[in-house]
Structure 1
């Protein structure tokens, strides 16, 4: 039987330049977004500071980019002005294109601290109105007293341990210790808190889901 040589078909490579490129929106500063949220509600600095539980001078400095707020101060502003966390970062989604993406190089995320408990690095912070909020978090707390109280909010959360050992407390379950490569997924409306039980601080990928605002 005669064997025929089959020549491989030449693959056609579609070049990236053949595709339209979405134009990027200008990134608006966090301070400007806080000011816009306050002004949209016709609130003075004095009234907004009372609602947020943050001093007038602190709120003014944040709006004018004279200081970067700690994570707990940012949470107070979000609660007081009733705004979404992810709406404070990056441009609004482009109306002309359905696809979006964000690349965060190592160490280039927005950084915040929450007392002696956590150090946050906000990932994909160039995109606003995300349904997922990804963080790289260094857990510095060693005792529940360092955390202070349960965290609880809308949505669900996924935690993946990158280094160290994490002890995860959830309101309705016994604590669980998580090593590198371990993960946990839970309802964020259930009280939760985490501490590091390793010699070094635990570092985790922490993803929170949130309903889109558009």
Structure 2
């Protein structure tokens, strides 16, 4: 059974759970009080953490009579206060804790980081608290802002001894992006990031990203579309491979009606 934090609620369901109308949810989104994730087709989807936030917004509005600006400030104050409270899920919140620590070490607010990255403070707050709710492209942008890598945030701590990783014993990144599972195929601080990507139907990077280095992709099963620089399209199927420079903008989408499994290697480890 999936964890409740992984459930996605449609607008009507979220409105019912929060005790408000669907139009109110859209209004609150326009006021940047809450920002839902988007499905591959662009539909709004609310996480369990979003439902809790919606209920807090409704309470502040009804019981305290606060305007949107005051509600936003109250919510941000709550989020900052959560820093000393471990989030449920233990290791599943690793990325969020690391990002919060990096932000605090630089003395930055949620708004400052979110503004530079191009997201809202509420989205960044949700990521810090739950390690969920952003696209792969956004996660990469946040890692770059803090001069680190997605790999470092997700899986390079607690390295195991030895160069061999037996089949099925891969360590897995915390699942930050819906539909994406990343498994570590080579332990240690090496010159290559070696990963096994498992993409659910419709999973995508939801935008392009780039970094230094070179990349190699080999499709084990399924089908994936890789787009380079927004104009070069590659439809890869089982047995196909692609090699490209990482500094090129690249985006991807699972075009298979089932899972797509990839061998994905980056060198040097700038991913």
Measure how far apart 1:34 and its partner are: 0.5
- The counterpart of 2:268, out of the listed 201, 211, 214, is 211
Question: Does the 8 A contact of 1:89 with 1:126 survive in 2?
Answer: no
Measure how far apart 1:31 and its partner are: 1.3
Measure how far apart 1:170 and its partner are: 4.3
Measure how far apart 1:205 and its partner are: 1.2
Task: Name whichever structure is richer in strand by fraction.
Answer: 1
Name the count of aligned residue pairs.
Answer: 177
- The counterpart of 2:184, out of the listed 124, 129, 136, is 124
Partners of 2:113 and 2:144 lie apart in 1 by 11
Q: 1:161-176 alignment to 2 at 5 Å?
A: 161-170=219-228, 175-176=233-234
CA deviation profile, 1:149-191 (whole Å, cap 9, x unmatched): 65432121111112234454545x9755433122222222234
Aligned to 1:136: 197
Aligned to 1:49: 114
Alignment RMSD (CA, Å): 4.2
Aligned to 2:237: 179
Task: Name whichever structure is richer in helix by fraction.
Answer: 2
Partners of 1:109 and 1:149 lie apart in 2 by 20
The structure with the largest alpha-carbon Rg is 1
Over 3 Å counting, the alpha-carbon distance change for 1:202 and 1:194 in structure 2 is farther
Partners of 2:129 and 2:187 lie apart in 1 by 22
Higher relative contact order (CA 8 A, sep 6+): 1
TM-score by length of 1: 0.59
Q: 1:79-118 alignment to 2 at 5 Å?
A: 79-90=144-155, 92=157, 99=162, 105=169, 109-113=173-177
Partners of 1:197 and 1:68 lie apart in 2 by 23
